Structure 1
Amino acid sequence: MPVPVILDCDPGHDDAFNILLAAAHPAVDLLAITTVAGNQSLEKTTLNARRVCAVAGIRDVPIAAGRDRPLHGAALDAENIHGGSGLDGPGFGEGEPDVPQDPRDALTLIRDTLLRHPAPVTLVPTGPLTNIATLLLAHPELMHRIERIVLMGGSTGRGNTTPAAEFNILCDPEAADIVFTSGLPVTMFGLNATHQVRATPDVITRIAALGTPLAKLCIELLTYFAATYREVYGFDAPPLHDPLTVAHLIDPSLISLVRAAVAIELTGTYTRGATLVDLDGVTGLPANADVGMEVDVPGFWDLIVEAVRVLGERARSEVQA
């Protein structure tokens, strides 16, 4: 049976590919997409989710906007990586995408989906954890309707926004702390894993060879993403962070996991937002998460290329019909 999933995201170039993967693969039943402020403002991340779905022909998945700021403090963004739109690179045009925004807010859509679906649902947050923490605070009675939380965020080592903190966690450390201490099953894919899956020239060539409008869009996204990662971090190819979450749901053998205690630093002068991942068990804290470690990189990219192929051919067939 496909895994029922709610994708909570802040598109974002890598989020866009995660939407494609979740919508394309038969092992995933994408029930809803919710958005949060992160890579860009809430207005922009919500528009970007709709744009990606429109280009890919994803029209049966409701999209709702969530929190526009963290639980505490001011919002951050990643304009230096994702651009002023949050999804710079492709020319989406000025018009509205033909995929609508759901009139409900994200919290209501998630609640309604959890109550309606006959089985517990997996939550897949790939941005700041504000929406998920808000849900857990507002509706603790629904925790039994959540199968697990599979997230992109944190790191077993250094950060990417400060020396200690990864962007998603730093955007809302208090929300991350709520999620990791919730008692729910949590699987974390941090920078230590996601930096292994870089969109190298051979990946670009494989996607370009598909020859569909969606493939062209993907190349434009990756080209922009590569340029900012080269300028900001000196990477020779950009890492596609977020799709590790859905790839894991499709094929758990793709990424090895270790069980560990993960704590969120909330007050450190230089370390706020850091994920303390106790791989050696030295803190005595109870293990509360499965942490992604080694990735089958070719297997991961096979999933991404196939998702672009499937959705691209489907969208092109719809246009021709």
Structure 2
Amino acid sequence: MTYKMIIDTDCGIDDAITIISAIKYGIDIVGITTVSGNVYVDQVTDNVLRILNFMGRNDIKVFKGAHKPLISEKTTPAKIHGENGIGDVELEKSPKSEEELPAPYAIYKLARENPGIVLLTLGPLTNIAMAFNLYPDLKNYVSKIVSMGGAVNFGNVTRFAEFNFFYDPEAAEFVLRLGIPILLVPWDPVVATPIFEEELKETFKGSVGKLILQMEKTVMDFVEKVRGVRGVFLPDPMALATFLDPTIIKSKINTSMHMELNHGSLMRGASIIGEGHGTEIVMEVDKGKFLNFFKNIF
């Protein structure tokens, strides 16, 4: 089945891998929207344009979005992904620029033109929340939101919070309450599935695989310094893979989730599991099937 998809991204290294993988899989990407997160939105937009140029897909339109969270002040990006967000790899500059239409408006326009579209969100949910707030009828055109974000038991920026939802918890809360089917990959199955350097080399082949290994060197150097092993985590690719091949999922829960929004709380930005249904949360994946998914498209 060919899916029509909008990808919303803060284009770090794993975002870039996901965009590349979606292209190689043959997904009909009708647009890519950018948001501040791993790096600031201008750099994110440049990264996406360069990745698309590298892949020979300058036909995919790029729309620049939010430069800061809905309410909080702009957060200084971490440098785990390098200064430029893609491991300080210098790809050729794209001959194209982003479109003039801002991301939230583009999401609505593209969804109306492609009813039943899937939104794949790889960064903070600022653009998505703004789009649905501006256009409540957007719900009628989106079949599913596939999102990497949140944490059930283990965070990565605090003990309780995962980066994407922590960066803009108000946006995450808004999206989680929309009532649209959501497939969510939180940090938990990601941190339980480390991908070691040799596994990366065996999985991502060819010239594109070489680029991925070059980008991931920055992260592997960081992980080696902190954990003593050379490897990476692949959060955004896991969101794409579990959506396209649900057999990768070993366990999941269907429940509700909301965000801790109290500015004075150490729990701010944490994801809280509630009662009810509506959010399909991946808790564990089959590592072999996960890697095979990418081996088959690379």
Length-normalised TM-score, structure 1: 0.87
Q: List runs of 5+ in structure 1 lacking aligned partners.
A: 279-284, 310-321
Q: Distance in 1 between matches of 2:268 and 2:236?
A: 22
Q: Give how far 1:38 is off.
A: 0.3
Q: Distance in 1 between matches of 2:89 and 2:296?
A: 21
Contact persistence 1:79–1:86 (CA under 8 A):
no
Q: Give how far 1:150 is off.
A: 0.9
Q: Distance in 2 between matches of 1:195 and 1:248?
A: 15
Q: Distance in 2 between matches of 1:161 and 1:211?
A: 34
Q: Tell me the amino acid that sits aligned with residue 168 of structure 1.
A: N
- Which whole-Å deviations, capped at 9, do the CAs of 1:65-102 have from their partners, x for residues lacking one? 10000000112244331122111242326xx3234322
Could you say which residue in structure 2 is the equivalent of 1:59?
Answer: 58
Q: Give how far 1:29 is off.
A: 2.1
Could you say which residue in structure 1 is the equivalent of 2:124?
Answer: 128
Contact persistence 1:21–1:303 (CA under 8 A):
no
Contact persistence 2:87–2:217 (CA under 8 A):
no
Q: Give how far 1:207 is off.
A: 4.8
Q: Give how far 1:240 is off.
A: 0.8
**1:277–1:57: structure 2 CA closer, same or farther, 3 Å change rule?**
same
- Which whole-Å deviations, capped at 9, do the CAs of 1:10-40 have from their partners, x for residues lacking one? 11000001101111113x3221111100001
Contact persistence 2:161–2:271 (CA under 8 A):
yes
- What's the RMSD between the two structures over aligned residues? 1.8
Task: Name the SS for the 2:8 alignment partner.
Answer: strand
Q: Distance in 1 between matches of 2:76 and 2:219?
A: 15
Could you say which residue in structure 2 is the equivalent of 1:227?
Answer: 221
Q: Distance in 2 between matches of 1:44 and 1:290?
A: 32
Q: Tell me the amino acid that sits aligned with residue 235 of structure 2.
A: H
- Is structure 2 residue 18 aligned with structure 1 residue 22? no
Q: Give how far 1:233 is off.
A: 5.9
Task: Name the SS for the 2:104 alignment partner.
Answer: helix
- Is structure 2 residue 67 aligned with structure 1 residue 72? no
Q: Distance in 2 between matches of 1:202 and 1:58?
A: 29
Q: Distance in 1 between matches of 2:272 and 2:282?
A: 14
**1:59–1:303: structure 2 CA closer, same or farther, 3 Å change rule?**
farther
Once the two structures are superposed, the pairs formed by residues 206-225 of structure 1 within 5 Å of their partners are 206-207=202-203, 210-212=205-207, 214-225=208-219
- Is structure 2 residue 284 aligned with structure 1 residue 294? yes
Q: Distance in 2 between matches of 1:243 and 1:205?
A: 16
**1:207–1:296: structure 2 CA closer, same or farther, 3 Å change rule?**
closer
Task: Name the SS for the 1:141 alignment partner.
Answer: helix
1:112 equivalent among 95, 109, 113: 109
Q: Distance in 1 between matches of 2:226 and 2:106?
A: 36
Q: Aligned pair count? A: 296
Q: Give how far 1:169 is off.
A: 0.6
Contact persistence 1:53–1:99 (CA under 8 A):
no
Q: Tell me the amino acid that sits aligned with residue 75 of structure 2.
A: L
Contact persistence 1:154–1:274 (CA under 8 A):
yes
Q: Tell me the amino acid that sits aligned with residue 175 of structure 1.
A: A
Structure 1, 99-108 or 146-155: larger mean CA deviation: 99-108
Could you say which residue in structure 2 is the equivalent of 1:303?
Answer: 293
Q: Distance in 2 between matches of 1:18 and 1:9?
A: 10
1:139 equivalent among 118, 135, 138: 135
Q: List runs of 5+ in structure 2 lacking aligned partners.
A: none
Q: Distance in 2 between matches of 1:111 and 1:13?
A: 27
- Which whole-Å deviations, capped at 9, do the CAs of 1:150-173 have from their partners, x for residues lacking one? 100011112111111111011000
Length-normalised TM-score, structure 2: 0.93
Q: Tell me the amino acid that sits aligned with residue 218 of structure 1.
A: I
Q: Distance in 2 between matches of 1:258 and 1:162?
A: 23
**1:233–1:73: structure 2 CA closer, same or farther, 3 Å change rule?**
farther
Contact persistence 1:31–1:113 (CA under 8 A):
yes
Could you say which residue in structure 2 is the equivalent of 1:246?
Answer: 240
Identity %: 29
Task: Name the SS for the 2:152 alignment partner.
Answer: coil
- Is structure 2 residue 145 aligned with structure 1 residue 149? yes
